Amino acid sequence: MRRILFSILFVLYLTGTTFAYTPNEKDIIAIDAVTKKVEAIISKGTSRAKFIRALETLKEKQAKNERISYLVSAVIEHLQATDNTTYVVTSVTDGDTIKVIRNSETKTIRIIGIDTPEKYSTRTGYEECYGREASEFATKALS
């Protein structure tokens, strides 16, 4: 009796590991379509990290459904792989404003939480105290 129970459990164990979910062609097409839609949403300003967290939550809730779990995992892997974006600082306007370039597109970024004297005041037209020093420090720190 023990041998029969052991052999049944052993067969169940083997079939559970050999019949793991394998993606088909429709799954690969679905992954590509979802990834493109997610990238389009992210390019409009949505946080990539928030999207990944939401997908991980969905994956946990759908853990019993192997297909959905696989599809969500594939999209998460793609998002994490493309998250390594490099921006190059091209110039420092003031101590708290920089210009960066990525994929031949230049953007001006104002650093939140840092308030430095302006290099050139728009009201008076003169340099504020320590404006040049703040700009030089930012140039050294970000170069």
Residue 62 three-state SS: coil
Residue 51: closest CA among 62, 61, 40: 40
Co-location of 66 and 47 in the same domain: yes
50-105 pLDDT, tens digit per residue, is 777 877 887 787 777 777 778 888 888 877 776 556 778 888 887 788 888 876 78
What pTM was computed for the model? Answer: 0.41
Co-location of 27 and 77 in the same domain: yes
Q: Average pLDDT, stretch 21-34? A: 79
104-113 pLDDT, tens digit per residue, is 788 888 888 8
Which band of pLDDT confidence, cut at 50, 70 and 90, is reported for residue 14? Answer: low
Total domains in the chain come to 2
Query: Is residue 100 included in any domain, yes or no?
Result: yes
Residue 106 three-state SS: strand
Burial of 98 from C-beta contacts in 10 A (0-12 / 13-18 / 19+): buried
Co-location of 31 and 62 in the same domain: yes
**Residue 49: domain span:** 21-81
